[in-house]
A and B are shown apart, each in its own frame.
Chain A
């Protein structure tokens, strides 16, 4: 029982990332009908927003501190980050400490802009081209984005730390009456899960309860009719593309402390997220979220030792195996809508 709970919890953080990326992919697919292979790159750019934020806050100037001397007797050079000198040492230190959550604010406009520019600059011209062309051009774009990041940030993973308050783990089991030290769970992963739940909830609420969301949903169902009603649906879909990019970017920002960002993390997640979208059903938003969490948790169950003893290597292939099984038995995916991508 405790093992089941622990693996479920372990699967949640990866599942949250899959769910958020897959949600964005499905949004783009459902609204614009475009298969976006550059979505993983957006996730990566989000993660690098966190890195940039941490670096920006840590920019320091050097001063000579006469009270401290090195072993030769010269005054020691002391680095003081600008934020500390502006806001006072305590406030400044905590700003640096909290740079990852603060990067959320910084990343939303950036990701909205990147998404908007991508749609207007490139993807707009590909609506009427075959899906293969869309896949190819976004694939090329993903390579370019990835190489740009590699050029400026290097090829090595960049450790990005979570705020001190969320470092370490807590004993989840004792709260539920298990023995201590059985279910230990890092704080940040819990934060990540809560964050993703909020983001996903916000997207759904936005689509459900606002007029804008209503129009977008109507456009997803029947684009032509909405257009005939005199609504500029293209503009709204462009904004939805920006939102989808922002969701992927947010997933990336908060993922940075869990896994040090490197330039190919987007591609690694993209492949899995596509599998998630297909399992959930092309064009189904709840399906994407459900499949994301499901596959994340399944992956963590498959990496338990006694399961690996029975079927060696299962942890490496479980997601693909499930995808193949589902595609062959339920071609539309778990919650796929009828008539989407069935040509």
Chain B
């Protein structure tokens, strides 16, 4: 179905289910309990999961499949945000034209940047993309101020023309973003017992787009085009010797992943109609690299997982403060408690970057395949413990080497 085999279809259905049920799944702790601060089921955060999931999925198409490590993908995110906000200013607050322009503009940008950068590979490619992204960031801050509004960031104001839509809402404010009348800010709260679930229109909008993005990348992974990209990753030279020019393929992958980034940027602007240059800074590019690696490069689920983990930590860890720590470790003896709190303080609050840095290092050192590989290893370990005989040397003899080695 849908051009997928049975296994992938099952996978896709699971992803769809998880995505749609997120508002419930991420709210496991009842309201008012001590663990409620670990709930992640509020719209703002869930939207970020979906949006950065899209961003990371797109990045994975480039990095995971071709092995080209781009350090400048945030530039496309920024371009997407700016173009979407401009659409909100000029046309209407409907998100559709904004998203379409975001994808087109970032695609064009990616085409130009990719055409130049892909002439080189390896670390030179990383530096070239980094240079382009920093250039866009610096320009957005300085000369392009008429377009980007510099440090303040681009915002929607009452005096914007908005020729197709409302200029001013009934209450006299700037109208909110909507999708053919469905307000992005609208949310429905449902209380079940002491649990409270928030179903927001904005999240579901992002989620449905994310599912489409996921499906598309699944198709790309399974397509001959995807196979070609993998060939580039494993041995580009050999590919060249067979008479194939790899560059059109890498360029296509670069543009596609740039468009994904633009879509994510457009969605960010749709959820909160403003765009700032700091979205293009190279730390933002580093963040998407982090997400992809953390989850697992080249896997389908990894980037989404990585994006989720990082955004969750950013939101939840940064909220934990000293008082909360005292509550948690109050049962320890006094001296020990102060030591533990002293150590833990490095990792929470404004120090959550440290947590992500440490986690990232641990993953790169011990789990090059990311969290997905970790999951597979645990699975394999449990299987072996249950007496699974899949690794029985008798029945699975090692293949004899081709030539004497």
The contact size tier of chain A is: 35 or more
Min CB distance B367 to A, Å, is 12
Counting CB contacts under 8 A, is B87 at the interface?
no
Secondary structure call for the B interface: helix
Which residues of the other chain, B, contact A133 by a CB distance below 8 angstroms?
A: 364, 368
Indicate if the CB atoms of A323 and B127 lie closer than 8 Å. yes
Interface string of B252-279 (1 = CB under 8 A from A): 0000000000000000000000000000
| CB within 8 Å for A267 and B135 given contacts A275-B127, A327-B120 | no
| CB within 8 Å for A135 and B130 given contacts A140-B357, A316-B138, A317-B135 | no
Contact among A129, A139, A313 for B138, CB-based, below 8 A: A313
Q: Chain A interface: which of B157-165, B207-215, B281-289, B378-386?
A: B281-289
Tally chain B residues at the interface, Cβ within 8 Å.
41
Counting CB contacts under 8 A, is B122 at the interface?
yes
A residues 219-275 with Cβ under 8 Å of B? 267, 271, 274-275
Counting CB contacts under 8 A, is B37 at the interface?
no
Which residues of the other chain, B, contact A125 by a CB distance below 8 angstroms?
A: 365
Indicate if the CB atoms of B69 and A143 lie closer than 8 Å. no
Indicate if the CB atoms of A341 and B143 lie closer than 8 Å. no
Contact among A139, A155, A316, A324 for B141, CB-based, below 8 A: A316
A residues 266-306 with Cβ under 8 Å of B? 267, 271, 274-275, 278, 282
A35 to B138, CA, bound (A): 25
Interface string of A145-164 (1 = CB under 8 A from B): 01110110001000000000
Interface string of A175-191 (1 = CB under 8 A from B): 00000000000000000
Contact among A141, A151, A267, A321 for B351, CB-based, below 8 A: A151
Counting CB contacts under 8 A, is A144 at the interface?
yes
Indicate if the CB atoms of B364 and A327 lie closer than 8 Å. no
Which residues of the other chain, A, contact B358 by a CB distance below 8 angstroms?
A: 140, 144
Min CB distance A125 to B, Å, is 7
Counting CB contacts under 8 A, is B4 at the interface?
no
Indicate if the CB atoms of A323 and B123 lie closer than 8 Å. no
Min CB distance A31 to B, Å, is 17
Which residues of the other chain, B, contact A327 by a CB distance below 8 angstroms?
A: 120, 124, 127-128
Interchain Cβ contacts under 8 Å between A and B, 17 examples: A131-B123, A132-B69, A135-B123, A135-B126, A136-B293, A139-B286, A140-B357, A144-B361, A146-B353, A151-B345, A151-B354, A271-B130, A271-B134, A278-B127, A313-B138, A313-B139, A341-B124
Task: Enumerate the 4 nearest inter-chain pairs by beta-carbon distance, A residue then B residue, closest first.
Answer: A313-B143, A143-B357, A316-B138, A140-B361
